[in-house]
Amino acid sequence: MSNELYTDDQLLEATGLHIDNVRKLVTWGAVRPAKGGRGRGNVRMWYAHTVRHIACVAALVNAGLSVKMAHTLVYLDILGDIFFDIIDPETLAMNSGDKDGWFDPERPLDPQDDHDFRLIIADGQYVFIHSLTKETPIPKGFLADGGTLFRTYVDFSHYSGSVGEDGKVKDLRPKWEMAPGHFEVDPGSLAWQYDKTLEDETVIDWQTAYSAAVSITTVNLSLACKIAMRRLLNIPVFFPKPPVTEAEGGADPT
């Protein structure tokens, strides 16, 4: 599954993102086709993991974010992590199998899956990540300058490295400098700024920012990936039917 390629039409059908926005992502160096894309008659093709990324971008665009900010939030906090790489039949087969029925045509998708990865924006500004297995969402940063800049206390320019014999991490590298064989995203496609002061609760009271928010926007990015993958594989996308209440004509339980 990981090496199978998909056309533009399949990507658009799976994700719902407009082709003009896909072209923006390609131009910015935010995503790269597996092959093609230049010259007349040269068909552009995509890997499934890129389709999943674009599906998450589309979900955040539908929630009101710009394409660049949607890509920024998805890439910096999520892309390449187990949250989305596992949403693939081949990956599941190599591990525990599809025990949750994500790709079973006879089973509905569960929109309340406890392990789904959700991105939350409180009051249109404060960004959190959350799965229902955790009691409270984890703050990541906030949207500044009218939603055009993601300020975060995570320094993604010194994000990952190797652990030495002393147990300390060394050879830190930016998140966008991927391991050999992986696509390195153009950092210019990411609208973010490192702000260490945001770790201090006196700068932003994150608990209050969430608990006292007037509005909460929750986007289930794991579900967006599952829907996109089912569409790629021509598996029906459907959900559990809500229980019928007595007022709606159900049987009287008494």
Instruction: Give pLDDT tens digits for 62-95.
Output: 999 999 999 999 998 876 556 688 899 988 888 8
Amino acid at 235: I
The whole-angstrom separation of Cα 178 and Cα 199 is 26
Q: What is the mean pLDDT of the chain?
A: 87
- Residue 204 belongs to some domain of the structure: yes
What pLDDT is recorded for position 39? Answer: 58
- Residue 252 belongs to some domain of the structure: no
Is the separation of the CB atoms in 232 and 10 below 8 Å? yes
The confidence band for 181, taking pLDDT boundaries of 50, 70 and 90, is low
Between 131 and 49, the higher pLDDT residue: 49
What pLDDT is recorded for position 26? Answer: 95
- Residue 250 belongs to some domain of the structure: no
Q: Residues 23-37, buried b or exposed e (16+ Cβ, 10 A)?
A: ebbeebbbbbbbeee
- Residue 249 belongs to some domain of the structure: no
User: Closest by alpha carbon to 58, among 73, 45, 46?
Assistant: 73
What pLDDT is recorded for position 116? Answer: 92
What pLDDT is recorded for position 247? Answer: 59
- 250: pLDDT strictly greater than 90: no
Amino acid at 210: Y
- Residue 180 belongs to some domain of the structure: yes
Range of the domain at 121: 5-240
What pLDDT is recorded for position 84? Answer: 80
What pLDDT is recorded for position 127? Answer: 96
- Residue 245 belongs to some domain of the structure: no
- Residue 247 belongs to some domain of the structure: no
The confidence band for 253, taking pLDDT boundaries of 50, 70 and 90, is low
| Average pLDDT, integer, range 192-196 | 95
State the total domains in the chain: 1
Question: Lowest-confidence range among 3-12, 103-112, 162-171, 194-203?
Answer: 162-171
The whole-angstrom separation of Cα 61 and Cα 57 is 6
What pLDDT is recorded for position 40? Answer: 62
- Residue 18 belongs to some domain of the structure: yes
Q: What is the pTM of this model?
A: 0.89
Instruction: Report how far Cα 17 is from the mean position of its chain's Cα atoms.
Output: 14
What pLDDT is recorded for position 106? Answer: 95
Beta-strand pair 216-220/160-163: unpaired
